A and B are shown apart, each in its own frame.
Chain A
């Protein structure tokens, strides 16, 4: 439950997130020099890479909390797994949007079936199904169990998909991949962006998981009330 102390802690964390995000924006648009081969469009790299990192992290967290939920059956583990998957799907969507925006001017193509792109796409589809299963199951407890199962067996597919697509593409025309060394300011900007997006992910997941836990609690109390009245 919320009290004065946790409200102060929350404001502090959101303040930290805001500061980091502002610092990231400043570094991406003002501080870091323009990459000389690919030009201004390369700056999207500082959003694209952190987003991709956070989406993998998010699905890994969902995997861990799904196992915990099936083991312990505490609503909070399910809420965390669910919230993390939601944020993960949003971030993967952004990865799949920022990727082509960057690829078109640099590679001349929107999309290529390379291992990383294809794995992101497959992941996105798996976790959309994860969210759909939950939404389309009548009882919340059953939906939680089903999605926990998908959160586990979906995640173990990731290395196999990556390996397979990698082999599959090496048998076909190879793609041109951005290969440029990162200079110190570029690396610093990337690190600040990664930190900012990781904090944003943690805040969103935490907030959403708390809401889901309260919703479950509300449902439980309403059910108790109805039973009493009957």
Chain B
């Protein structure tokens, strides 16, 4: 099982490494969102405030949607999804493989965008409490996003369908990630952000289980 998942993940990583199309465009887009939001809120020189953590998560959410749209779009070309479905593996393995790809991809985007964000706002670059927040939020984004991306790619609206499906469902993760990041930036102790980490962990588990169960109904032909 795990070997099969890793094979699909490795296939996606190799394809992306050869073209570097998606990763570059998503990174540039996420950085643009950061910059545009600074202008939109007119907060150039002001110290960290209520809006600041939201800017990071707006950039990661929109970047994630852009990348999520590609996760199955590449499989649509040359009937690659059919090829993948012909493989003698469980449908859940395909979900976990694509999910792993989505997760690694978004983690990479977050790993680049977050330091830039911290630097732009003159915040300390080393914040040990931030990685767990990002890890849990990105896992939630990937869990729900991979399922909805598989739905969206088969509708006529395609690119616009993913945000319409994903954003309302992801509300708990976005709220929890923004609140937890706000606490981290304010230098609050771990205890205060625990509840937000728990909410994200609960969301992650619920959506991983539910998506694993229903994924076969999305890609069956």
Contacts and interface: CB of A to CB of B under 8 A. Distances in A.
Contacts of A142: 154
Interface in A7-45: none
A165 B169 CA distance: 13
Assign chain A's interface to a size class.
Answer: 20 to 34
B172 A160 contact: yes
B207 interface: yes
A129 B175 contact: no
> Which applies to chain B's interface (DSSP): helix, strand, loop or mixed?
helix
B175 A146 contact: no
Interface residues of B, number: 31
Contacts of B196: 167
Given A148-B217, A160-B206, A167-B199, A137 B154 contact: yes
B203 interface: yes
Contacts, number: 83
A133 B161 contact: yes
A150 B151 contact: yes
A189 to B, nearest CB: 34
A176 interface: no
Interface stretch (A79-87, A91-99, A151-159): A151-159
Contacts of B202: 160
A171 interface: yes
B211 A132 contact: no
A153 B206 CA distance: 9
> Which applies to chain A's interface (DSSP): helix, strand, loop or mixed?
helix
Contacts of B211: 153
A57 interface: no
B147 A157 contact: no
A152 B172 contact: no
30 contacts: A70-B214, A128-B164, A129-B161, A132-B157, A136-B155, A136-B156, A137-B154, A137-B155, A145-B218, A146-B151, A146-B218, A149-B214, A149-B218, A150-B165, A153-B144, A153-B147, A153-B169, A154-B168, A154-B169, A156-B210, A157-B168, A157-B169, A157-B171, A157-B172, A160-B172, A160-B203, A161-B172, A163-B172, A164-B172, A164-B199
Interface of B: 144, 147, 151, 154-157, 161, 164-165, 167-169, 171-172, 175-176, 179, 195-196, 199, 202-203, 206-207, 210-211, 214, 217-218, 220
Interface of A: 70, 122, 125-126, 128-129, 132-133, 136-138, 142, 145-146, 148-150, 152-154, 156-157, 160-161, 163-165, 167-168, 171
